[in-house]
Amino acid sequence: MTGRVNGKVAFVTGGASGLGEAMVRLLVEEGARVVLAYVDAARGEAIVSEIGEGGQKAFFLDLDVTDEGAWDRAMEETLQRFGKLNVLVNNAGIAPTGDMEMPFALWRKTLAVNLDGVFLGTRAAIRTISKCGERGSIINVSSTMGMSAEPTTAAYSASKGGVRNFTKAAAVYCADKKLPIRVNSIHPGMCLTPLVKNYFDANPQEMEPQLARHPIGYLGEPIDIAYGVVFLASDESKFMLGSELVIDGGYLI
């Protein structure tokens, strides 16, 4: 299929690496114009340059997702550049390891990026999409660790579990207010992003145990998650609200 999100404007946080980069590229390929938000300007601008077309299909914004004022400015710039907003993908996140003895500062930072950032982005997008007179879709990237946990995922699991249930609250809010905005969460399993590949290159003994935890027999790729995002961004998913799209190779079975 092609043109699945023709005419839509999408905003992707964490859009210049790993899963986010794959989302940006596929959304553009499927017909959307995309705002790529990231904290590394050089990387973000490089991807926009590779996409090409003189910024007509994508442009870069430097965005700290924990900064409330920065979100207001980002929404305004999106409207100035593309005239509307239809889709927000709250993808930016961090995944530090930490057990019950983790430093409180690291706990706070993880919750700030992974959960506060999703709240601020969702709120800003609801306000912006509501002004545009078209249907909208907000996609919050949680994780399989938002449904399960390991000894060293205390803050990460807490933050992603928060994203999971916050998404439902935002979804029923939009429904209650009769806003034409769907809010759903997506739950990726382990994917072979550059960061994960580097880890396995340095720790090859860890690959087999991870594969054994995935009944499908292999790990995911960023494009696998990007396909799910395009589905939730498109009108193909118009009857989905507050749903959890799990893409994990059977990890949670």
Q: What is the per-residue pLDDT across 130-161, written as a single tens digit (0 to 9) for each?
A: 999 999 999 999 999 999 999 999 999 999 99
* DSSP type of residue 183: E
Mean pLDDT on 56-74: 97
d(CA 227, CA 208): 26
Look up residue 63 and give its two tokens: 């965005």
Q: Which one of the listed residues 156, 199, 227, 251 is annotated catalytic?
A: 156
Is 54's pLDDT higher than 80? Answer: no
* Predicted pLDDT at 1: 60
Confidence (pLDDT) at 53: 77
The 10s digit of each residue's pLDDT in 99-122 is 999 999 999 999 999 999 999 999
Per-residue pLDDT for 198 more than 70? yes
User: Can you give the three-state secondary structure of 28-83, one letter per residue?
Assistant: HHCCCEEEEEECCHHHHHHHHHHHCHHHCCEEEEECCCCCHHHHHHHHHHHHHHHC
Please answer whether residues 202 and 1 qualify as being in contact, where contact means their C-beta atoms are separated by less than 8 angstroms. no
Spell out a b/e string for 8-41, using b for 16 or more CB atoms within 10 Å of the CB, else e. bbbbbbbbbbbbbbbbbbbbbbbbbbbbbbbbee
Q: Give the model's pLDDT for residue 180.
A: 97
Using a pLDDT cut of 90, give the percent of the chain over it.
Answer: 96
Entry pTM: 0.96
Structure token digits, residue 2: 């092609």
The answer to whether residue 251 is catalytic is: no
